[in-house]
Amino acid sequence: MSDFHLPEDKAGRLERCSLFYTDVVPHNHALGLTLVDVGAAEATVVLPYADFLVGNPETGVIAGGPVTTLIDAACGTSIFLKLGRFLPIVTLDLRIDYLRPARPGIALTAVAECYRTTRQVAFVRALVHQGDKDNPVASAQGTFMRTEE
Amino acid sequence: MSDTNAPATLASLVREVRKTREYRRLTDAIPYTRFMGIGVENLAGEMLCRMTYAPKLIGNSFLQALHGGTLGALLESAAIFELLLQTDTERVPKVISLTVDFLRSGKPQDTFARAFITRQGRRVANVRVEAWQDDRTRPIASAHALFLLAEP
């Protein structure tokens, strides 16, 4: 990744940002996160259902931790898309509201949008759903610090 | 899962572990905490959670920093185990909301967390959690979380 600027075309942006799911971020890869769509300031990331992610063995419902990771990853990517390049960022805070229990056996999809950036801070919101955006599992709000000089 | 003495339900396992303090039986019964290497320990009479370092927890391979999501997972797990093991709640608490503050980057080493129940009502519990590595006075992340304990 010698060039930190993202290509103009959508396919190129998707391919470059996907490196954060396949190569650069081991924990994204360990959970099987996949970047499936990119917009001007929006990232869509899928977390496939897997038995090792279950938090309640009696119901098969996925734990909260993988959902936090999914949201954090999607939010970071949306900031790169908004700014058109890779830059060092750190998560300052993340608030997640769980709107309904996730259904077992079904993938979770996070759609994150970076709706505002300042010189130092990026503001992001995200929704997590299981196929129907009108019936979300979780909503989230995060702030990130741009750590470049 | 070949444990023939395994209790029939999670609730009965929780009741047993509260008495025997064999925390490993509970954290191994939950697939995600087993995968993440999150365990419960009694250190100097205090119940703590430990997330044992593994390379799969890394979020930035250039800086070798833990993924923020793994710290969120540890903090939330510590809150749930505090409620399960230190109160008499009968089922796995359902998280309503979780707010995480990331204070310092997580180094590639074991991370600890301690939860404090700030209020426990009949239906809702408020929990505050802190996570640290070498120095407890320099936390790397903190959280406050709301849990639903029971249906009306």
Task: Assess contact for B142 and B76: CB atoms under 8 A.
Answer: no
Query: pLDDT, tens digit, for every residue of A81-113?
Result: 999 999 999 999 999 999 999 999 999 999 999
Give me the percent of chain B exceeding a pLDDT of 70: 93
Residue A91 has its nearest CB partner, among B30, B36, B68, at: B68
Residue that wins the pLDDT comparison between B122 and B69: B69
A51, A91, A141, A143: which to substitute to probe chain B, counting the most B Cβ within 10 Å? A91
Kindly tell me the sign of the dihedral angle through the C-alpha atoms of B76, B81, B84, B86.
negative
Q: Is B31 left (phi over 0), alpha (psi -120 to 50) or beta?
A: alpha
Burial class from Cβ neighbours inside 10 Å (0-12, 13-18, 19+) for residue A131 reads exposed
**Secondary-structure breakdown of chain B: helix, strand, coil percentages, each rounded to the nearest 5:** 30, 35, 35
What is d(CA B148, CA B127) in angstroms, rounded to the nearest whole number?
11
Higher pLDDT, A71 or B122: A71
Between CA A132 and CA B58, with CA B147 as vertex, the angle to 5 degrees is 70
Sign of CA dihedral A113, A118, B129, A69: positive
Q: Which residues of B touch A27 (CB under 8 A)?
A: 56-59, 66-67, 69-70
pLDDT tens profile A28-67: 999 999 999 999 999 999 999 999 999 999 999 999 999 9
Instruction: Tell me how many residue pairs between chain A and chain B have CB atoms under 8 A apart.
Output: 128
**B81, B135 in Cβ contact below 8 A?**
no
- Could you say which of B55, B97, B102 has the minimum Cβ distance to residue A96? B97
Of B60, B84, B140, B151, which to mutate for an interface test with A (greatest number of A Cβ within 10 Å)?
B60
Residue ranges and CATH numbers for the domains of chain A are 10-146 (3.10.129.10)
Identify the closest residue of chain A to B8 by CA–CA distance: A58
**Spatial distance between the Cα atoms of A77 and A89, rounded to a whole number of angstroms:** 10
Tens digit of each residue's pLDDT (9 = 90 or more) over B89-109: 877 899 999 999 999 999 999
Please name every residue paired with A22 in a beta bridge, in sequence order, or none if there are none. none
Query: What's the gap in Å between the CA of A53 and the closest CA on chain B?
Result: 5
Q: What is the pLDDT of residue B92?
A: 83
Average pLDDT over chain A reads 95
Token code pair at residue A8 = 């103009």
In this complex, do B32 and A63 lie within 8 Å of one another by their Cβ atoms? yes
B29-80 pLDDT, tens digit each: 999 999 999 999 998 889 999 999 999 999 988 889 999 999 999 999 999 9
Q: Delineate the domains of chain B, giving CATH numbers in brackets.
A: 10-148 (3.10.129.10)
Residue B26 has pLDDT above 90, yes or no: yes
